[in-house]
Structure 1
Amino acid sequence: MASAPQQPQLPLFFNDLMPLNSRDHANYKSRTLETAPWLAKAHAIPLTVDEFVQAQRNFPIVFSTGENPLPLALMGLNEGFNTFVDKDGKVSDPVYIPAYIRRYPFMLAKLQQDTDQLSLCFDPTSDAVGEFDEGRPLFENGESSEATKQILEFCQNFEAAAQRTQAFLQQIKEADLLMDGEVTIQTDGDDKPFVYRGFGMINQEKLQALSDEKVAEFNKSGLMMLIHAHMFSLDNMRTIFSRQIQQGWKPAPLATDGAANA
């Protein structure tokens, strides 16, 4: 259900990536769009630890599977179903929007693999950036505009949060706290339940077995708060499932070996 978003070359949502520069994009503007068609069928969105407390109010927070897990906010439980976005890509209810979504179509990326330097890039296929009559100019008199500076700052903050997220993941992996997750949802009138697998979650038994010293360390660093936000968020699984049913999701024949994969 919550495998890491699969993109062989580009991150989730990006169709192309181009470095922003004043020579080629002197007349480009950035504009706000009311719809995001690229989000309509995205159900698992990467999340940073900075967002756990806000996101856990709306979404289940789980971890992708594999050797390099990452936190995911589930906007739907089944692949291709986002319960917070209509078919046109318009957010249907007031909800926290993860920073990964808000930064699109911009991101910081390496232009050369042998350097750690990151450059501000954008997806040129996006309707949010281009030579428009409306919008905020990205360059003024050959220099970065205030809009570009704000975009750059947002992307830099996102990268810093991503580093903190990796540190969090490293700590919970070293403590061997991650386990394969499973959630069973029984609906009225059905003999067999829906069983969701394919994601990671914190092992509560191992968490409770931590030494007093490790618990104190986790409390002091704030890591325990993040773990609890994740655990509390799992109650939203049934809420998201109900949203899918209300929005017309028609389940396949029920089976106990897993009802959905991402």
Structure 2
Amino acid sequence: MATTPANVSASQPQQLPLFYNSLVPLSSQFHPTHGLKPREEFNFAKVTHAIPVTVDEFAIAQRFYPIVFGLGDNPAPLALVGLTEGQNLYIGEDGLWQSGAYVPAFVRRYPFMLARLQENSEELSLCFDDSANQLSADATDKLFDGAEPTDTTKSVLAFCEQFEQAIARTRGFMDELAKLDLLIDGEVTIQQPNMPEPAIYRGFRMVAEEKLQNIRGDQARKMVQNGMMGLIYAHLFGLAQIGNLFERQTAQAAELAAK
């Protein structure tokens, strides 16, 4: 646990991850009476339509969301929770995530995360976004007992450590996809009977099934053995959820128009 009060990357806020407005090291010295409030809402995630996911989540996430890959030199897997920039279709007006739907670990981790306090440091420290309202001195679920972290803090730290390990596995998966040159620019067309023109969605990457079908046999065997093939098919099967997202978006738009 860090003992410095300095904000992490305070001079470069643009480098902070999605959802985070600041990062402050959690410390018994500077937060001796802070506690953790139960999460009451997810409004911090309401204005994003794509949330990072790790390979550990593919199997369950693809049952609810399309899993696609971002653009750029270092694309990451993303769960689409909406089809329009800034709109999460799974968070209601009450700020709650739709009951029964999987909540990505990236969302559940907030407002905590592990971060390097110094650019060249190998050590990661538990930090939190002090603009969030989950940590306060009046919360009863305390984070420290004197100088020692409580079980609550230990659980948060363990979750964040497991998430970092999952990120490392995800980077390995993405590196292998790049070596095999399996990713292409994605495009999905949705046509419904009452639509004069089809809806076309772009701006993401996906695995090319034709390339996948034509990889060498030894490569395919290796991908089956190391679990990579299962992850790819979880991604491909999850693309069918784009149609469900479109229907959800249409239904919500109709509800708003009726008000």
Which stretch shows the higher mean deviation, 159-168 or 74-83? Answer: 74-83
Once the two structures are superposed, the pairs formed by residues 40-59 of structure 1 within 5 Å of their partners are 40-59=46-65
SS in 1 for 2:68: strand
Q: Secondary structure at the match of 1:126?
A: coil
How far apart are residue 192 of structure 1 and its match?
A: 1.1
Q: Matched residues in 2 for 1:199 and 1:33: separation?
A: 31
Indicate the residue corresponding to 2:155 in structure 1: 150
Q: What secondary structure is seen at the aligned counterpart in 1 of 2:15? A: coil
2: distance between equivalents of 1:237 and 1:93?
A: 19
Alignment check: 8 A CA contact 2:190 2:198 kept: yes
Give how far 1:249 is off: 6.4
Name the structure where helix makes up a greater proportion of residues.
2
Q: Hey, what does 2:124 align to over in structure 1?
A: 118
Deviation string, structure 1 residues 60-84 (Cα, Å, up to 9, x no partner): 0000011100000011111122111
Q: TM-score scaled to structure 1, two decimals?
A: 0.90
Question: 1:77 pairs with 78, 83, 93, which one?
Answer: 83
Are residue 140 (structure 1) and residue 125 (structure 2) matched? no
Q: State the 1:115 CA deviation.
A: 1.3
Aligned to 1:159: 164
Percent of residue pairs identical: 44
Q: 1:70 to 1:231 in 2, by over 3 A?
A: same
- Code of the residue aligned with 2:183 in structure 1: it is L
Equivalent residues in 2 for 1:99-118, closer than 5 Å: 99-118=105-124
Give, in angstroms, the shift of residue 130 of structure 1: 1.4
Report the AA paired with residue 125 of structure 1.
Answer: S
Letter in 2 for 1:180: D
Deviations 1:16-51 (A, max 9, x none): 100000010000001112212111122100000000
Q: Quick check: 1:32–1:128 contact (8 Å CA) kept in 2?
A: yes
Residue 160 of structure 1, CA deviation: 0.2
Structure 1 position 221 matched with structure 2 position 232? no
CA distance in 1, matches of 2:67, 2:254: 22
Q: Counterpart amino acid of 1:85? A: I
Match of 1:25 among 31, 37, 54: 31
1:65 matched to 2:76? The reply is: no
1:142-185 per-residue CA deviation (whole Å, 9 max, x = no partner) reads 21111000000000000000000000000011000000000001
2:101 is matched with which residue? 95
Question: For the residues of structure 2 that align with 1:39 and 1:76, how far apart are their CA atoms?
Answer: 11
Which amino acid in 1 is paired with 2:147? G
**Which consecutive residues of structure 2, in runs of 5 or more, have no partner in the other structure?**
1-12
Shift of 1:189: 2.3
Question: Is the 8 Å Cα contact of residues 61 and 234 (structure 1) preserved in structure 2?
Answer: yes
Report the RMSD for the aligned CA atoms in angstroms.
1.3
> 2:252 matched to which residue of 1?
247
Alignment: residue pair count: 243
Out of 233, 237, 242, the residue aligned to residue 232 of structure 1 is 237
- Mapped to 2, the partners of 1:130 and 1:36 lie a distance apart of 18
* Alignment TM-score, normalising by the size of structure 2: 0.91
Q: Indicate if the aligned counterparts of 1:29 and 1:137 stay in contact, CA closer than 8 A.
A: yes
What is the CA–CA distance in structure 2 between the aligned matches of 1:231 and 1:249, rounded to whole Å? 30
C-alpha separation in 2, matches of 1:157 and 1:249? 41
Secondary structure of the 1:45 match is strand
1:169 matched residue in structure 2: 174
8 Å contact kept, 2:28–2:146: no
